Structure 1
């Protein structure tokens, strides 16, 4: 391992020479070394165990055959200035400008559905356009796919999300959105699919980033114990508002009149949040959620709620932040196998136009959410209310389970555990294009008893996180016993793949916070006027100390800046343990960096670093940070 004590960005002047000289490459096991072979096998097994067990296969446009223009990110993956390459999966995508241009690929599994991550232009005055793109299978026309830019294209050069606007300007971000369709039949493995710009596909340009192909099961049958929302007056696929029927069914279940709410296959329009009417009218807004309710659907591709009204324009809205779609949950609720498609287009903005929340509330105990698809919300799931929101109903999330979630294209967080949420899990779920932390624990102070109501013992495991366009893949702000394990995180725009931090004024860190067996690819970036550079894994004691951190069994590859970064702050990060970690190709930074104002210490064991532009281990002048360990007990020069 190469140790350096230098000011960053000056360690090497020739990029190729930096890559060759930056450190030791991982050693390969040989048949003559059984122990090494077993170690290599274990490492491969651990890596294979990362991420969600996804029901679809993703195909990158640049890896197929195409006639068009390859778009790539610049060296620093610049964000916020209409940078299509930076916002692309793998930092590459394909642009189709002319009739006849296409992207094609051969499927590796049977499929009867498609999701296309794409970008088409905004309308000249904002608000988005609709366009089509033609789908072929083995040379035969299948259908026109409907694409839209209604939910993409935010403008402004501010990194404050509430300062962005839908009004066109020179600088734009959140350039991509997704379109999905069920196909009329299944196509076998080995089918050549082609997305082609044909006559009538009349957007100025089409950028294709990736395609998901999935074999979707037929709609599930109605369980005998459940009562359909159609019995309360809901009508599928007619564009009529089904909110009253859905609310009546949920209320009947909550009152014990039925045993379960069934949502059949169909498109169901919802224009008000489902909650519990508060006869006391406590507070300016109704903040009483549902309890003791089970809602089941026929599958996320089949039972789908949608709204046509932007949240801030809706009548009867229960809270401007929470929107006019989805469910407000207080306790003991099970929701499964359905989709919630919002109509949000911005996070705040100059006119305060909030994007709504798919699932929000106190959540309480015994709540389980599974196989729910949430798209075009401000936040997918916000767990927890401030204690001041009707104190007598205080009931923080405890023992919550989220599995099989599919959260896409939000303007803020994917799932955030706050207000004392504990003993809860997000597992086997996928997140793409979130506008803030895809997953977070925020041990906030807005609780009944700060001594006990602490965000603790939560686990994020076996999740796949792609392309957060703002903030982190996974973040923990305070608390204890929280675990980030077996996740795959890729292509963050501007923040770390994983960050532990004490900004947002959380309750203190204590006990252990474990980061284990994760894979981070092309993460980190520059933000806040491009003045702050973040590592793939960043420890940021902004005001308070961050204690008890363990990072182990993790691969960090192709980071935009540093692999592991200890950031300046008012607190310290003492006794960080880093073991069995591989850091390769830190493009514009160090393998491990302690910034000039960083305080604390880290011990390294079996850490391999290679290809770092600024050196393997860099401690900036003025730093009090201590790093020990490494090969043969070598310590950095000071």
Structure 2
């Protein structure tokens, strides 16, 4: 979420600052170490790594392992570590603040000037997308560097890579300055196990402190269609000013012809500049006004259009020629005085009217790209790709990059359908339903490299309700969660694929926090697949679960059904239920039911319980479990009666690991099996069940 879970002062858990003395006591009461998980560079030889057939993956997995889950996308993903190269394979590594940890599949290929990585096209393609990282400038702000692209050794073109939108540092809300001191010296610092402002002498903090958000991506139309089997080579020129270039993956795609709408309010007729030399915001406003009077659609033909502020949309349809052809791109503009909503900048974005003014209705946006210019995180700024309130509306087929949040809706509003969009390289969330968004659907979207929750429902002040997140793919959220549900009623999270959350979050979080309204009715979490999830929570100093229930501000006692989900290659736990230490006697988690679950590989346990309450388990099969199946600490009172958290065995719970059956009789109903520092055992790669 845009108000990040990170940056809290010392606390065992929670999202709000607490005094240092209380924080230190809480951290002393319960901490778990971060075990060493994988690592080590490998030098790759081009001949040895060249595959006779291309390796196509989904979330760096064999596609059959995630069949039926996630978004159906028009591109084929190929990981660089599976391609031919004379560079160096880095990873696997899941340690936060490292280059391989933020890569898809936790591996990438690092190239020095003169080196290459070469991909074999798996199908006909005329376009590629490259996910990469290059160094920051010594004092921040980024650099640019070339990357040559050839196909079959010919038809060379050069991409200009940039690190201007990556490389953040320090504590929340982060800095672009690698040489900056601590933003919050009164917060707990895991690295020194102290609160620096309360420590004499103050510890020396290594700079740059906590570098993160290393990757960006860039697309390129190849100018013609190439066949399956053709070779796309990415080469760092010998004279590159980038000391290294890391290639994470390549997406290849066959892009269709531009969409044409002849009978429409064409923005060119109102003075829009398709070469991007002049600001076209006024032309868009005129086209929208004309279209509404004439009951027409607005059409934006191929081109790059400069727009440096919000375009207000209400009762209008805006169509582009396709997100590869119609690009609406803007600068971030500093405001002379802050706006009433607290914004100190504006930038390109399509916004419904504010809910307090009645919101917008009947808005339909499709077939174009929105490219912002956001390089720092300022949570009061409204510099999102799509925003405001828009009921009875659709957003389909957009490509949104370099905004703060891809789509941030402030309700109350209802019946919006967000489908088939690609949202990448955000400073904060991918999408957030905030405050009273109801009866809405987010389906078939692809979100990669969000700077906070990739997809969130946040019921602040007014509950979100009857919403569905379905068949979306989330990859490498740098901070927080893949999918987060903060309160609400009768919501559904289904058939999603969530991979590689990096730190301080989980693939799926159910959280009573951030001032959210209570969970009521039901919450269905069904048929999702997570992989390489269960991250390190920096502030608590413990490992999380791939799915994480967190009772911070209220009980979680709605009917929660977790059914048919698959948790693969979990860094720590598959399932975690937790409360904050200072409120451990106030809030509990109950009425949660796990059924027909598969857990393949945990670094630690299948279930970690650090809260009072209960959950039921039926047909939960586990294998390759690294530690005791259930790590049951309850609410840390360790009473003679046992843990305050009980597990109800409804049968069919099979498999386990090194300690035997994961849900053994001696662990039921509430035997204390608490281990604050379980050893981490790296699980094997997932395989067919």
Residue aligning to 1:129: 143
- Range with bigger deviation, 49-58 or 614-623: 614-623
From 498, 508, 515, give the equivalent of 1:505. Answer: 515
Q: Are 1:113 and 2:157 an aligned pair?
A: no
Output one character per residue of 1:70-116: Cα deviation in whole Å (capped at 9) or x when no partner.
Answer: 11143xx2213xx00111100000100141x1111211111111111
Q: Are 1:97 and 2:112 an aligned pair?
A: yes
Matched residue of 2:334: which SS? helix
CA distance in 2, matches of 1:211, 1:323: 32
Q: CA deviation at 1:272?
A: 1.4
Residue aligning to 1:562: 573
CA distance in 1, matches of 2:628, 2:279: 60
CA distance in 2, matches of 1:134, 1:407: 25
Matches within 5 A, 1:314-353: 320=343, 323-329=346-352, 330-348=360-378
Output one character per residue of 1:323-382: Cα deviation in whole Å (capped at 9) or x when no partner.
Answer: 321111122200100010000001129xx8x5811111111x211110011100111111
Matched residue of 2:317: which SS? strand
Matched residue of 1:239: which SS? coil
Conservation of the 8 A alpha-carbon contact between 2:460 and 2:517: yes
Residue aligning to 1:390: none
Give the structure-1-normalised TM-score: 0.83
Q: Could you say if the C-alpha distance between residues 499 and 610 of structure 1 is closer, same or farther in structure 2, counting changes exceeding 3 Å?
A: same
Output one character per residue of 1:120-158: Cα deviation in whole Å (capped at 9) or x when no partner.
Answer: 1112221111111111212224211121111001111x2
Q: Could you say if the C-alpha distance between residues 411 and 321 of structure 1 is closer, same or farther in structure 2, counting changes exceeding 3 Å?
A: farther
Residue aligning to 2:526: 516
Conservation of the 8 A alpha-carbon contact between 1:104 and 1:194: yes
Unaligned runs of 5+ in 2: 1-29, 39-62, 180-206, 353-359, 654-662, 672-689
Output one character per residue of 1:506-559: Cα deviation in whole Å (capped at 9) or x when no partner.
Answer: 111011101111110011212334624321000111121112111111110111
CA distance in 1, matches of 2:90, 2:222: 29
CA distance in 1, matches of 2:333, 2:615: 47
Q: CA deviation at 1:472?
A: 0.5
Residue aligning to 1:360: 387
Residue aligning to 1:310: 332
Conservation of the 8 A alpha-carbon contact between 1:322 and 1:357: no
Conservation of the 8 A alpha-carbon contact between 1:47 and 1:517: no
Q: Are 1:246 and 2:284 an aligned pair?
A: yes
CA distance in 1, matches of 2:439, 2:86: 51
CA distance in 2, matches of 1:540, 1:327: 34
CA distance in 1, matches of 2:481, 2:168: 19
CA distance in 2, matches of 1:210, 1:549: 37
Conservation of the 8 A alpha-carbon contact between 2:524 and 2:562: yes
Matches within 5 A, 1:510-549: 510-529=520-539, 531-546=541-556, 547-549=558-560
Matched residue of 2:618: which SS? strand
Residue aligning to 1:625: 645
Residue aligning to 1:469: 478
Q: CA deviation at 1:405?
A: 0.9
- Range with bigger deviation, 526-535 or 372-381: 526-535
Output one character per residue of 1:225-253: Cα deviation in whole Å (capped at 9) or x when no partner.
Answer: x1100111012114211111112212333
From 428, 435, 440, give the equivalent of 1:412. Answer: 428
Give the structure-2-normalised TM-score: 0.77
Residue aligning to 1:26: none
CA distance in 2, matches of 1:443, 1:197: 47
CA distance in 2, matches of 1:338, 1:406: 11
Q: Could you say if the C-alpha distance between residues 210 and 526 of structure 1 is closer, same or farther in structure 2, counting changes exceeding 3 Å?
A: same
Q: CA deviation at 1:14?
A: 13
Residue aligning to 1:375: 401
Q: Are 1:267 and 2:267 an aligned pair?
A: no
Residue aligning to 1:601: 614
CA distance in 1, matches of 2:66, 2:632: 30
Conservation of the 8 A alpha-carbon contact between 2:547 and 2:575: yes
Q: Are 1:579 and 2:595 an aligned pair?
A: yes
Q: CA deviation at 1:499?
A: 0.4
CA distance in 1, matches of 2:344, 2:37: 50
Conservation of the 8 A alpha-carbon contact between 2:483 and 2:509: yes
Q: Could you say if the C-alpha distance between residues 14 and 535 of structure 1 is closer, same or farther in structure 2, counting changes exceeding 3 Å?
A: closer
CA distance in 1, matches of 2:143, 2:608: 45
Higher relative contact order (CA 8 A, sep 6+): 1
CA distance in 2, matches of 1:227, 1:13: 59
Matched residue of 1:231: which SS? helix
Q: Are 1:138 and 2:176 an aligned pair?
A: no
Matches within 5 A, 1:8-407: 47-74=66-93, 77-80=94-97, 83-99=98-114, 101-156=115-170, 158=171, 160=172, 162-168=173-179, 169-171=207-209, 172-224=211-263, 226-254=264-292, 256-275=293-312, 290-307=313-330, 309-312=331-334, 320=343, 323-329=346-352, 330-348=360-378, 354=381, 356-363=383-390, 365-385=391-411, 396-407=412-423
CA distance in 2, matches of 1:79, 1:139: 37
CA distance in 2, matches of 1:486, 1:427: 10
Q: Could you say if the C-alpha distance between residues 48 and 228 of structure 1 is closer, same or farther in structure 2, counting changes exceeding 3 Å?
A: same
CA distance in 1, matches of 2:31, 2:144: 46
Conservation of the 8 A alpha-carbon contact between 1:343 and 1:355: no
Matched residue of 2:77: which SS? strand
Conservation of the 8 A alpha-carbon contact between 1:166 and 1:346: no
Output one character per residue of 1:258-287: Cα deviation in whole Å (capped at 9) or x when no partner.
Answer: 511110000000011112xxxxxxxxxxxx
Residue aligning to 1:613: 626
User: What is the root-mean-square deviation of aligned Cα atoms in Å?
Assistant: 2.5
